[in-house]
């Protein structure tokens, strides 16, 4: 009896082993994970900003020797400053001659009158008639700016000719303009601001604009008053005498004036080099 039971169990186990693969589900194979697509981002190519002029500028940034860089910069800017002062002295002479003639009750010629009125317009002398008073007012504006002052402001404002505004727009004096498209938009300009940094087609145009700004803008009236007083006292018009009148030129105020005066003192050796 026991032998039969063992045989029966052996047969049952054998049968179960035979049919087991058919009555059970194969184990589920895990689906292969998708390999994420690797996106290789190409570095953004930033095109260099194209100059807004056709002037070939010295590569001041590439000049490592400080003395050489200063000399190259002064040699580049100084001829334009000296030429502008020469023009101003010619304009001033026309005003002085006209004033002397009126003081002696002499009439101006048509050519003289036309020349004087043109100078009035250039220097924003809001006078339609040529009188002794209007000519004296013009003389306060039609006057030189010491080359030392102009050169040091150019060096300071343009970082010795290396700034973006100098390279791209020939703006060596940090001058602003307020008409859309008149120049370059500062990268750090406040959202509500509308000014641009003026761009010029020539270095001379940049220098002329700077001179006109100093000689006409209300912000620099004190500079012109000091200059007129020096003229009246027959004293030399020096850069350091005029720098206090540039307080409004920079938000840095007195620090800016001190820096200019230091630069003027430290660079005297370059001013009169030929």
Which of residues 249 and 5 earns the better pLDDT score? 249
Q: Per-residue pLDDT for 19 more than 50?
A: no
CB-based contact 165:197 (threshold 8 Å):
yes
- HSE toward the beta carbon, residue 209, CA cutoff 13 A: 19
Q: Per-residue pLDDT for 25 more than 60?
A: no
CA 66, 69, 71, 73 dihedral sign is negative
CB-based contact 98:133 (threshold 8 Å):
no
Q: Which helix (H) or strand (E) covers residue 198, if one does?
A: strand 196-198
Beta strands 176-177 and 183-184 are: unpaired
Which of residues 2 and 61 earns the better pLDDT score? 61
Mean pLDDT of 88-115: 97
Helix (H, G, I), strand (E, B) or coil at 173: coil
CA distance 98 to 15: 133
Which of residues 38 and 166 earns the better pLDDT score? 166
CA distance 200 to 144: 22
Residues belonging to the chain: 274
- HSE toward the beta carbon, residue 78, CA cutoff 13 A: 13
Mean pLDDT of 20-38: 55
246-253, Cβ contacts within 8 angstroms, sequence gap of 24 or more: 246/153, 246/220, 247/222, 248/219, 248/220, 249/153, 249/219, 249/220
Give whole-number Cα distances, 134 to 117, 129, 221, in Å.
10, 8, 16
Q: What is the pLDDT of residue 128?
A: 84
- Chain segment 183-237, per-residue pLDDT in tens: 777 777 666 566 788 999 999 999 999 999 999 999 999 999 999 999 999 999 9
Confidence of residue 179 (pLDDT cuts 50, 70, 90): confident
């Amino acid at each position: 009896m026991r032998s039969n039971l063992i045989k029966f169990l052996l047969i049952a186990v054998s049968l179960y082993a035979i049919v087991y693969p058919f009555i059970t589900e194969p184990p589920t194979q895990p689906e292969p994970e998708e390999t994420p697509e690797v996106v290789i981002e190409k570095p953004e190519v930033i095109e260099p900003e194209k100059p807004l002029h056709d002037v070939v500028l010295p590569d001041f940034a590439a000049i490592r020797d400080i003395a050489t860089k200063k000399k190259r910069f002064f040699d580049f800017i100084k001829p334009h400053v000296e030429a502008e002062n020469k023009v101003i002295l010619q304009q001033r002479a026309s005003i002085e001659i006209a004033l002397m003639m009126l003081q002696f009750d002499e009439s101006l010629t048509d050519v003289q009158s036309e020349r004087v009125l043109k100078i009035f317009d250039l220097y924003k002398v809001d006078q339609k008639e040529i009188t002794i008073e209007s000519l004296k007012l013009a003389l306060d504006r039609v006057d030189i700016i010491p080359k030392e002052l102009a050169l040091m402001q150019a060096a300071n404002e343009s970082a010795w000719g290396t700034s973006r505004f100098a390279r791209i727009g020939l703006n060596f004096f940090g001058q602003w303009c307020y008409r859309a498209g008149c120049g370059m938009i500062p990268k750090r300009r406040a959202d509500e601001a509308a000014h641009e940094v003026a761009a010029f087609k020539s270095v001379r145009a940049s220098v002329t604009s700077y001179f006109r700004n100093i000689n006409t803008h209300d912000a620099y009236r004190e500079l012109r008053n000091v200059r007129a007083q020096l003229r009246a006292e027959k004293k030399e018009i020096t850069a350091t005498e005029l720098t206090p009148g540039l307080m409004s030129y920079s938000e840095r105020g007195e620090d800016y004036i001190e820096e200019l005066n230091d630069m003027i003192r430290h660079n005297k050796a370059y001013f009169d080099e030929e």
